[in-house]
A and B are shown apart, each in its own frame.
Chain A
Amino acid sequence: MEALLTATSSDYSREMVSAPPKSVAGEEVWIGQAQRSDARAFEALYRLHVDKVYGLCLRMTGNVSEAEDCTQETFIQAWNKMLKFRGDSAFSTWLHRIAVNTVLGRIRKSKREQDRIQAVNDAQPARVATGDTGELRDLAEAVDRLPERARHVFVLHAVYGYSHDEAAEMMGIAAGTSKAQLHRARRLLVQQLEEQGFEA
């Protein structure tokens, strides 16, 4: 555990697993064109943001197939709601909000959390697709095994850096609940990682 938690940014640089920075110079133009139902411009927006959306969906669902479906649904909903985007926040943040709603909506609809856990276990080889290596991969898998709400809060707050207020607003819960779930997530992660032989 100590080794895991002392990993430095040079050891596990995000740039190792993320797509290279892409130009967003055309983003504003593409948004305007997509708002006028230009599918090509919307495809450009998709190419620019798909990794961010898929990453969030994968972290929140812990399942490749679900994450793919959520990503597609997120962009379809974004297309249908393009006129509602007013630029009050970054386009990527707006997409993230839609993605979170999509994930939560699908979970509410399906009520298949047990199936999801089983699917995650069955799909372990796909974990490589996240780009996490070594002990970070162990942490990612431990996050996947967290209870639903604790996992979502941990992903939004600890992984993606949203404040408790922002995460709570996205999930439709109180900020205090978000803090409590983060606390719970941390405790459970420690337990899981210790069971795997890591020392805190």
Chain B
Amino acid sequence: MTEKFDDKLDRAARELATEISPKRDLWPGIAEAIATPKRSRWTPILAQAAAIVLLVGTSSAVTYIATKDSNGPIVSVAPELVFEQAAFGGNYHLGPGFQDARNSLRDDLDVELARLSDEAREDVQANLALIHQVIIDINVALEQEPDNVLLQQKLLRAYREELSLLRRVGGLTRNVMRRNDI
């Protein structure tokens, strides 16, 4: 077989049809398949987020019960608990009321955490770090799918959980102070 022969074979191959119509319409099968809810590639993250939020809630309750009578030493807050500006994907922003409340609680966090025992403080810090990571993950996902309602709901829930935990930390320490005063 010569090079010329190869060229002729290639030329004949290029004459073969590259666009061929299927005998039947394949669209109905495709339409049926894509009509079912699209499985997002972020589903594992959402499941993880839901599990973490549940874990945070449970853990916070345990923290409260275990530490309500304690009065821990004064310490500084771990640097990883420095919060980012609250964001809501690429297209949305949280309201100023929420942001003010969050900033206020965040500013008091150092003082409040310092009043807790080592064990309680570590629990709270770990929970806040988890929520913080969930918020980051969901925001990354929202940049890809800004109109994903499920992601938006998950993010709101994570922010609420964060706010709730910050408030509970404040409640814990105020409770401790009152007991000490007595």
Contact = CB atoms under 8 A, between A and B. Distances in A.
B30 A59 contact: no
A107 to B, nearest CB: 20
Contacts of A101: none
Contact of B16 (A37, A52, A64, A139): A139
Interface stretch (B1-9, B130-138, B155-163): B1-9
B22 interface: yes
B93 interface: no
Nearest to B1: A190
A80 interface: yes
A117 interface: no
Interface stretch (B33-41, B94-102, B169-177): B33-41
Interface stretch (A24-32, A158-166, A173-181): A158-166
Contacts of B22: 50-51, 54, 67-68, 71, 129
Contact of A5 (B9, B26, B33, B35): B9
B20 A58 contact: yes
B16 A132 contact: yes
B13 interface: yes
Nearest to A140: B16
What range describes how many residues of B lie at the interface? Answer: 20 to 34
Contacts of A110: none
Contact of A39 (B8, B10, B35): B35
Contact of B12 (A5, A71, A76, A131): A5
A56 interface: yes
User: Max chain A CB contacts within 10 Å: which of B9, B10, B20?
Assistant: B20
Interface string B136-172: 0000000011010000000000000000000000000
A132 B5 contact: no
B23 interface: yes
A63 to B, nearest CB: 13
Given A14-B15, A80-B39, A54 B21 contact: yes
B17 interface: yes
Nearest to B35: A39
Given A50-B21, A200-B5, 9 more contacts: A14-B19, A36-B147, A76-B30, A130-B16, A159-B18, A161-B14, A186-B9, A187-B1, A200-B1
